[in-house]
């Protein structure tokens, strides 16, 4: 694995190796007074974020620090991006300054792929010619480490083998990079994914995804899924509002307490965050034992440790 740009195309053995490494990272840190492994000492991880983030940026930084890497955060605001520097020049500058890995979030789908292509062609003397690029969310396209941390959370709650597990992904699929990454990864891991969304919030081309689609949340919940993943409504990617209205969305696609009560006892509720409580998910559900929202964030640190480890420590995945 040279870069982690998407879950589409990730082989099952690669995904499982990353998830197994994440579990090993968690184990290696358990009970330690000082959460510090020497694994990436001397390596430099730069996060380059052109969009807001709390979970992803912090957990990549924590992941790097817990493996003794030097971590540096660059935001579009406050960097020379604000003076008009191009994405290519910014990435080349970070590589020339000594980055071994660049973790990038960008509003344009495909931006991390472009950076990886540019850096692969140029090469950099600091890093034996290779700078690893990690996609931390690109437009409406992919968010691979989110899907990996979701899978890690499901493995802990439901068992390591997700074969045949039924996962509902609910809400604004159209604008969701989380939905696409999860659809591909969960299918690769053998799970059955159902997208539950209004027709207006489904992307063109969804027919090619390894999923089934329905528009009726109550009917689908009645089939007893093992997990329900609620999506964030991406208001910032909607220009001029969206249909259905926020109120109708909450009524038809919100996970309220009545709906949560219809789920099987073992079923787990996920949300990538940040959550809009009251519209996407009721507070009583988000704060219940069934919900794994905090566990997802914790799994995010271990998964991102695993990703940086496989990309930077020379320990390739299968």
Using CB under 6 A as the binding rule, whether residue 273 contacts ligand CP is answered as yes
**In the complex, minimum distance from the CB of residue 199 to ligand CP, in angstroms, rounded to a whole number:** 25
Is residue 83 a known part of a binding site?
Answer: yes
105 versus 166: smaller Cβ distance to ligand CP: 105
Tell which positions 104-143 bind ligand CP, by CB under 6 A.
137
CB neighbours of 292 closer than 8 A, spacing ≥ 6? 153, 157, 268, 269, 270
Binding mask 139-168 for ligand CP (x = CB under 6 A): -------x----------------------
Is residue 14 a known part of a binding site?
Answer: no
User: Measured between alpha carbons, how far is 187 from 170 in angstroms, rounded to an integer?
Assistant: 16
Using CB under 6 A as the binding rule, whether residue 24 contacts ligand CP is answered as no
Q: In terms of DSSP bridges, do strands 268-270 and 166-170 run parallel, antiparallel, or are they unpaired? A: unpaired
Using CB under 6 A as the binding rule, whether residue 236 contacts ligand CP is answered as no
Q: 169 with 193: CB under 8 angstroms?
A: yes
Using CB under 6 A as the binding rule, whether residue 294 contacts ligand CP is answered as no
**In the complex, minimum distance from the CB of residue 55 to ligand CP, in angstroms, rounded to a whole number:** 4
**In the complex, minimum distance from the CB of residue 53 to ligand CP, in angstroms, rounded to a whole number:** 3
**In the complex, minimum distance from the CB of residue 251 to ligand CP, in angstroms, rounded to a whole number:** 25
Which residue carries 């589409």 as its tokens?
Answer: 8
User: Measured between alpha carbons, how far is 175 from 167 in angstroms, rounded to an integer?
Assistant: 19
- Kindly compute the dihedral angle of the four CA atoms of residues 138, 233, 57, 64, in this order, to the nearest 10 degrees: -80
Structure tokens that stand for 138 in this block: 């690109």
**Which residues of the shown chain bind ligand CP in the complex (CB under 6 A)?**
53-56, 137, 146, 272-274
């Amino acid at each position: 694995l040279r870069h982690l740009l998407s879950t589409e195309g990730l082989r099952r053995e690669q995904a499982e190796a990353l998830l197994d490494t994440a579990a090993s990272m968690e184990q290696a840190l358990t009970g330690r007074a000082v959460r510090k492994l020497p694994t990436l000492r001397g390596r430099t991880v730069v996060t380059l974020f052109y969009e807001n983030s709390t979970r992803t940026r912090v957990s990549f930084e924590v992941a790097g620090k817990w493996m003794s890497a030097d971590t540096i955060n660059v935001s579009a605001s406050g960097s020379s991006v604000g003076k008009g520097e191009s994405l290519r020049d910014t990435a080349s500058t970070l590589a020339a300054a000594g980055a071994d890995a660049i973790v990038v979030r960008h509003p344009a789908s495909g931006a991390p792929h472009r950076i990886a292509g540019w850096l692969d062609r140029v090469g950099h003397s600091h890093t034996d010619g290779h700078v690893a690029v990690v996609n931390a969310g690109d437009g409406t396209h992919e968010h691979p480490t989110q899907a990996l941390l979701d899978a890690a959370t499901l493995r802990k709650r439901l068992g390591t083998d997700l074969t045949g597990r039924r996962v509902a992904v609910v809400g604004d699929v159209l604008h969701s990079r989380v939905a696409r990454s999860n659809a591909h990864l969960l299918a690769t891991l053998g799970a059955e994914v159902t997208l539950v969304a209004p027709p207006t919030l489904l992307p063109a081309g969804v027919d090619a995804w390894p999923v089934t689609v329905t528009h009726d949340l109550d009917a689908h919940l009645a089939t007893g899924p093992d997990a329900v993943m609620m999506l964030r409504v991406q208001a910032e990617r909607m220009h001029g509002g969206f249909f259905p209205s926020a109120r109708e969305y909450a009524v038809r696609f919100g996970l309220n307490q009545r709906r949560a009560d219809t789920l099987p006892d073992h079923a787990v509720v996920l949300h990538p965050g940040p959550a809009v409580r009251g519209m996407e998910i009721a507070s009583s559900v988000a704060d219940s034992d069934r919900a794994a929202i905090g566990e997802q964030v914790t799994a995010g640190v271990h998964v991102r440790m695993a990703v940086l480890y496989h990309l930077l420590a020379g320990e390739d995945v299968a």
